[in-house]
Amino acid sequence: MTSAAPVSPAVDPRTAAAAIRRARMRERLLEAVLDLYQPGQGSGSLVIDDVIRAADVSRGSFYKYFESLDAAVNELGERMTADMIADFRRLFDDGEAPLVRAVGGSIMAMVRAWHDPRWGGFTCRVDYVDYFARASMFDLIVRDALATARSGGQMVFRSLDVAVDLIVGMTIEGRRRLLLRSVAPRAYIDEMIERTFTGLQVKPDALEQAVARAWSVIMEAAPGLDWWRPGDEGCIS
């Protein structure tokens, strides 16, 4: 006697449709938050009223999905930090030299701001910077690259916290400047990297090689990066 395989219950079309509507509404609210976090949009401190007005929904609709504006900002922060970590690991895995990883991560963050202004605009807002400071996974990646480069004699600094803050602060200010479209991006990024890592006492020849390798990796991966804008390669020519 054989037993028949269990049959999966059919999905109720109404349940599926409701789930799709909920997902779309959640995305609509997050898109409104993202739009409001762009340079020149809103005031220095956004409130829920700004979001519901931009999304054209009721206050009750917002609270069905998020308990507060901070909760929505944190969800966007989680997504963007996860994207950043995924791209970093894809481009600069453990096979790359620590100095290349440290330099490459900094270049990648600034290049993405040039190609993806909405991402750059959001990640420069103080709310996201505060969230980023709590995102221990990426913090550990940055710390590991810097600590390993120091132990290998490629950098010199006393405090790892100072080195991390220097790198993160540089990329934030770099993104803000690049969003203004007021500089030649490749030249600007290269000088930011040079001045910052020279401050960490990286030898000029080693830094030049690391920068060249980092750009080579980014250029090779560019066609497969979902935020890369085709036709905007001029920023790294």
Lowest-pLDDT choice from 25-39, 43-57, 110-124, 195-209: 43-57
Please state the length of the chain: 237
- Greater pLDDT, 5 or 10: 10
pLDDT > 80? residue 6: no
Model pLDDT for residues 59-102, shown as the tens digit of each residue: 999 999 999 998 998 888 888 888 888 899 899 977 789 999 99
pLDDT > 90? residue 52: yes
What is the Cα–Cα distance from 79 to 82, expressed in whole angstroms?
Answer: 5
Residue 2, pLDDT score: 46
Model pLDDT for residues 112-150, shown as the tens digit of each residue: 999 999 899 888 876 666 666 665 567 788 889 999 999
Lowest-pLDDT choice from 37-46, 166-175, 183-192: 37-46
Residue 118: what are its φ and ψ, rounded to 5°?
-65, -45
pLDDT > 70? residue 17: yes
Residue 46, pLDDT score: 79
What is the Cα–Cα distance from 115 to 128, expressed in whole angstroms?
Answer: 19
Residue 8, pLDDT score: 53
Query: One-letter amino acid identity for 211?
Result: V
C-alpha to C-alpha distances, 40 to 36, 114, 146, 172, nearest whole angstrom: 9, 17, 35, 17
CATH number, span 14-67 = 1.10.10
Tell me which residue has tokens 């809103």: 42
Residue 183, pLDDT score: 93
> If you average pLDDT over each of 69-78, 121-130, 196-205, 224-233, which comes out highest?
196-205
Residue 27, pLDDT score: 93
The radius of gyration computed from the CA coordinates of the chain, to the nearest angstrom, equals 21
Residue 77: what are its φ and ψ, rounded to 5°?
-60, -40
Read off the pLDDT of each residue in 20-40 and give the average, rounded to a whole number.
Answer: 87
pLDDT > 60? residue 1: no
C-alpha to C-alpha distances, 126 to 28, 47, 167, 169, 220, nearest whole angstrom: 22, 14, 17, 12, 32
Residue 125, pLDDT score: 75
Residue 200, pLDDT score: 96
Model pLDDT for residues 147-165, shown as the tens digit of each residue: 999 999 999 999 999 999 8
Residue 80, pLDDT score: 85
For the chain, which residues make up each domain, given as ranges? 14-67, 77-236
Tokens (6 digits) for 2: 């054989």
Half-sphere exposure (Cβ direction) of 17: Cα atoms closer than 13 Å: 3
pLDDT > 90? residue 19: no
